[in-house]
Structure 1
Amino acid sequence: MTLLIELEGLTKRYGAITALDHVTAAVDGRIIGLLGPNGAGKSTLLKCLLGLLPYDGRARVLGLEAASDGAQIRDRVGYMPEQEAFLAGMSAVELCTYAGEMSGLPRTEAMQRAHAALYYAGLEEKRYQPIDGYSTGMKQRVKLAQALVHDPEILFLDEPTSGLDPQSREDMLALVAELPGRRGCAIVLSTHLLPDVERVCDHAVIMHHGGMRFSGTIDELHGARGRDSELFVAVKADAARLADALTAAGATCRVTSPLALEVDLPASATTRLVFATAHAAGLQVRELGVRRESLEAAFLRVLGDRAATDLVASEPASVPTATAVGGGAR
């Protein structure tokens, strides 16, 4: 089975600046979150994969080598750039038709698909108006529509929620979450916002300073701790004494109340350690459960506190509860 993306020693330098530093990974999934602070190399990676930038190493998309097969890749991949790429005075339907023609579609078919893509993006009533007068949210929808017009197998979305208010952000993420089921395409979602990844992604690629720190499923990210998940333990009495006993047995504990504590077990241990230690100390365990590591904690762990703080600090102050779970040059 052909992987979506394969990277082998991918390196990109701008003079003395290394934007991508020997990146190696095999990436697959339904909606892949490409996550990292601003300047991590995310946009550069997407442009290399599209064959828009020269590079050292190897980069393959759908089995095609980006260095030599860029045109074929762009025929099969839709690209929503971070920056605006609109021509003055052009309407949304004109832009999307033009994007379709650049992808090799006959003009009549390109226009038909442009109308369909704009309808999906929620711009059917505004599609004949000049894009210059659009709001930021509407411009983001146009960029999404032009990336969809040629029915791509993969979508590269570069910061699709950038600059959006909370409701527009939620609307965009709902559209993204529906795309694999409704359009049959995979998605690479490049973002520096943790909530975007948590809302819609099933896989994650974490980048920092041009290097790849993690690549795998969201579940694997949560489980990449090198030890069992955190346990919540409630006792009949004296949580502090149980914490001391478990710490002596190799666990890491945090007492949260006189009757409760959180426990990270050593890699070789099971929950039996908790019960055996409590019994030996003459204590009674009343409740024990697994507490899944938060996505924020996982990124803090992978990137390190200082690096990941850039992600956490840049998140929107308020993101509504999700209603759907989960143009540039060609």
Structure 2
Amino acid sequence: MTALESLSFTVEPGVTGLVGANGAGKSTLIKILLGLLPPSGGQAQVLGLDIAAQGSQIRERVGFMPEYDTLPPDVSATEFVVHMARMSGLPATAARERAADVLRHVGLYEERYRPIGGYSTGMKQKVKLAQALVHDPQLVFLDEPTNGLDPNGRDEMLGLIRRIGAEFGISVLVTSHLLGELERVCDHVVIIDGGKLLRSQAVEAFTQTSGQLLVEVEDRSDDLGRLLFDRGVAVRPEGRFLMIDIADEKTYDQIRDGVVELGLALIRMEQARHHIEEVFQQ
């Protein structure tokens, strides 16, 4: 089976999203970059280090949060994160200090002495994130970090990822098959499918403004839509919003006049933006 084929791209500092459906080759790529899986061909460098000859040096400088639950159930978060810090070369005292710091950052400080086996899925994900950060790496690989989390847990994890990139100054390569999540936290997105590169681009380029207006009124949006349609405006309902094609500057005036004429309360009128998911589907 060919997992990756002619895949070539560069990851810059910041938060980069690696997007693809399940089986697209995301986890395989991370294992190759960590020097854990030898490629059958090609070359790669991580932080300027060759994956074939300098895997151990790469793993000293890189943190890894695996997708699957690989945590020992019978030890506490503190014991486990300290152990991982020692494995990365930190002295005992420094390892304990760093473990306490990262567990505080991920929101597990109060629960740090409990056995991991009694943790919720969200707490286990935070332990995996903490051990990836404990040795103060230059780069972290986060493989499906929101896997198995409820909406609140997802939001919390995405907030932590933003902080890693913005406040800690650590570059991040994060994988996901949920495009909307990566749109919220990433500076750059790499899309792969069947092991091949589809696109590598800044998020801003994906989410550039479209030629449509998103209009929201307090109520009677159907009436506004019919009125604008009768006056030659291209409009379509989308939930509680109206999506209106911008023909020219007069479109704004027609919307304003229609809202006034019907006595409606205008909540929002803004230029709509593309989503990464639209580009991926195309």
Q: TM-score range by the shorter chain?
A: 0.7 to 0.9
The one-letter code of the counterpart of 1:161 is: T
How far apart are the structure 2 equivalents of 1:238 and 1:195? 33
How far apart are the structure 1 equivalents of 2:6 and 2:231? 54
The one-letter code of the counterpart of 2:212 is: F
Task: Point out the more displaced range, 109-118 or 82-91.
Answer: 82-91
How far apart are the structure 2 equivalents of 1:123 and 1:113? 13
Task: Name the residue aligned to 1:34.
Answer: 18
- Percent of aligned pairs with the same residue? 44
The one-letter code of the counterpart of 2:30 is: L
Q: Shift of the alpha carbon at 1:111? A: 1.6
1:169-205: per-residue Cα shift (whole Å, max 9, x none)?
Answer: 1111111111123211011111111221022111101
Secondary structure of the 1:183 match is coil
Task: Judge conservation of contact 1:236–1:286 (CA < 8 Å) in 2.
Answer: no
1:93-144: per-residue Cα shift (whole Å, max 9, x none)?
Answer: 1111111111111122112111111111111111111111111011000000
How far apart are the structure 1 equivalents of 2:251 and 2:197? 43
What is the TM-score normalised by the length of structure 2?
0.80
Task: Name the residue aligned to 1:189.
Answer: 174
1:250-294: per-residue Cα shift (whole Å, max 9, x none)?
Answer: xxxxx326xx9537xxxxxxxxxx66xxxxxxxx93439854222
Which residue of 287, 294, 306 corresponds with 2:275? 294
Task: Name the residue aligned to 1:44.
Answer: 28
Secondary structure of the 1:25 match is coil
Paired residues in the alignment total 245
What is the TM-score normalised by the length of structure 1?
0.69
How far apart are the structure 1 equivalents of 2:107 and 2:189? 28
Task: Judge conservation of contact 1:235–1:286 (CA < 8 Å) in 2.
Answer: no
How far apart are the structure 1 equivalents of 2:232 and 2:63? 59
How far apart are the structure 1 equivalents of 2:204 and 2:166? 21
Task: Name the residue aligned to 1:285.
Answer: 250
Secondary structure of the 1:190 match is strand
How far apart are the structure 2 equivalents of 1:185 and 1:238? 52
Which residue of 67, 84, 89 corresponds with 1:99? 84
How far apart are the structure 1 equivalents of 2:103 and 2:72? 17
Task: Name the residue aligned to 1:238.
Answer: 232
Task: Name the residue aligned to 1:90.
Answer: 75
Which residue of 236, 256, 275 corresponds with 2:235? 256
The one-letter code of the counterpart of 2:199 is: F
Task: Judge conservation of contact 2:229–2:235 (CA < 8 Å) in 1.
Answer: no
How far apart are the structure 2 equivalents of 1:168 and 1:222? 25
The runs of 5 or more residues in structure 1 that have no matched partner are 1-16, 224-228, 240-254, 264-273, 276-283, 302-330
Q: Shift of the alpha carbon at 1:295? A: 2.6
Which residue of 186, 189, 195 corresponds with 1:210? 195
- 1:124–1:290: structure 2 CA closer, same or farther, 3 Å change rule? closer
1:54-93 paired onto structure 2 within 5 Å: 54-55=38-39, 56-93=41-78
Q: Shift of the alpha carbon at 1:23? A: 0.6
TM superposition outliers: structure 1 runs of 4+ over 6 Å: 233-236
The one-letter code of the counterpart of 1:30 is: G
How far apart are the structure 2 equivalents of 1:220 and 1:116? 36
Alignment RMSD (CA, Å): 2.2
The one-letter code of the counterpart of 2:70 is: A
Task: Point out the more displaced range, 70-79 or 194-203.
Answer: 194-203
1:69-148 paired onto structure 2 within 5 Å: 69-148=54-133
Task: Name the residue aligned to 1:317.
Answer: none
Task: Name the residue aligned to 1:7.
Answer: none
The runs of 5 or more residues in structure 2 that have no matched partner are 214-227, 237-242, 254-269
Q: Shift of the alpha carbon at 1:222? A: 3.8
How far apart are the structure 2 equivalents of 1:201 and 1:232? 24
The one-letter code of the counterpart of 1:231 is: G
- 1:168–1:232: structure 2 CA closer, same or farther, 3 Å change rule? closer
1:163 aligned onto 2:148: yes
The one-letter code of the counterpart of 1:136 is: T
Q: Shift of the alpha carbon at 1:30? A: 1.2
1:2-43: per-residue Cα shift (whole Å, max 9, x none)?
Answer: xxxxxxxxxxxxxxx111111111121411111111001001
Task: Point out the more displaced range, 79-88 or 199-208.
Answer: 79-88
1:43-82: per-residue Cα shift (whole Å, max 9, x none)?
Answer: 1111111111000101111111111111111111110000
How far apart are the structure 1 equivalents of 2:122 and 2:204? 31
How far apart are the structure 2 equivalents of 1:220 and 1:24? 20
How far apart are the structure 2 equivalents of 1:184 and 1:117? 14
